[in-house]
Amino acid sequence: MDARRPLDSALRVFDTTLRDGEQSPGGSMSLEGKLEAARQLDHLGVDVIEAGFPAASPGDAAATEAVAGIVERAEVAALARCVPSDIEAAARAIRHARRPVLHVFVATSDIHLKYKLRRSRTEVLDSVAETVAYAASFGMRIEFSAEDATRSDLDFLACVCNVAVRSGATTVNLPDTVGYSLPDEYAAMFRYVRERVTDGDDVTLSAHCHDDLGLATANTLAAIEGGARQVEVTINGLGERAGNAPLEEVVMAIKTRAGAFGTIETSINTRELVRTSEMIARLTGLAVQANKAIVGTNAFAHEAGIHQDGVIKERSTYEIMVPEDVGWESSRFVLGKHSGRHGLSHRLAQLGITAEGPVMDAMYAAFIEIADRDKHVTDETLRSIAADVLGQVSAPSRDAVVVR
């Protein structure tokens, strides 16, 4: 590819929730669940849905074929090792897809070559040339992945990628398979490969990051800076070990910090993010942690009094995104021992209760006493506090409490 050629502004979103995401221990889905998820991913606007690894089992092959038959807009990919029988199984599973993608991979790091594949570099290069060309003979778009790219010798990595492109691959994926890389390193690797893969001008570089060090999102964004124009992600960050880069985080980072990424944009309908997250959590049985970015139940919740006061006065003081833009109905105030008088007054007003002066003082004192004990104070408890205080104040003070 010509490193001087201007990069596209469109960023392809390759969702691997149904393949890598489902490999999360305990996260497997039924066939019906995979079909439900695939329809929603298509509705969400992802560009590619990786449906499975057909050679892994007859069930995975059947599920991949079923997904390929119902997806209307997105491309459907099937994973295969650089092994003829794997490629045949994958091609067979997606043959009825409207836009099929054969995704073939081989490890390129010396540690994988020595201990897992037990092959030399020359043997790997020969295998890539033969098997990628074989995959291309099925008439489908070909993506090639260099497994463990971030721990590979860069010259050998570029050589393998050149061979893959020469043999028919139009997308080259450079995964951080074990979540080892740092953002600067990952971006530099993409720039290096982009400069040295010279056998195709229309090749797209792709990033696939794991979260073993908690850097999957940061590394994915760094790869974009380095020239990647496809990102491989999962809903809720599901995947092997610590998971993959979460689709919702990558997409919203690009949208929220648009100026930092120039003209880059995705086709994702962000208002479907929460709905999709909740669906995947239900189908896999893997709950989303409360403080998960974007889709966690606390992502737009405020308990601290200073924060509540700021958001009441101007939302942007403590919210850099609009909750409705990702599928939440609104921000949420959680009343607890850290909440201040402004937050309490705001919630009381929403419940139709206006309190002022000494009455508000009494209500706040009662509220704090309960909050210290019960962690969170419910609307029912607030109504009870209002009724108790209203019953205790003298007649002249009753005008300070208005219940609508």
pLDDT of residue 200: 67
pLDDT of residue 150: 98
Please name the helix (run of DSSP H) or strand (run of DSSP E) that holds residue 135, with its range, or none: helix 121-136
Pairing mode of beta strands 75-81, 48-52: parallel
3-class SS of residue 195: helix
pLDDT of residue 35: 98
d(CA 112, CA 110): 5
CA 188 vs CA 172, 174, 182, 223: distances in Å? 16, 12, 10, 8
**DSSP secondary structure, 139-194, as one string:** TSEEEEEEETGGGS-HHHHHHHHHHHHHTT-SEEEEEETTS---HHHHHHHHHHHH
Spacing of C-alpha 192 from chain mean position: 26
pLDDT of residue 395: 42
3-class SS of residue 223: helix
Please identify, in words, the CATH class of the domain defined by 12-284: alpha beta
pLDDT of residue 397: 43
- Strand ranges (E), 262-375: 301-302, 332-333, 353-355
Size of the chain in residues: 404
Question: For the chain, what are the domain ranges?
Answer: 12-284, 302-403
| pLDDT, block means (10 residues), the chain with 404 residues | 75 98 94 98 98 97 98 98 98 98 98 96 98 98 98 98 97 98 98 88 94 98 97 98 98 95 96 98 97 95 79 88 94 79 83 85 85 82 85 50 46
pLDDT of residue 359: 86
For the chain, how far is it from start to end, CA to CA, in angstroms?
68
**Which two three-digit tokens encode residue 27?**
């996260």
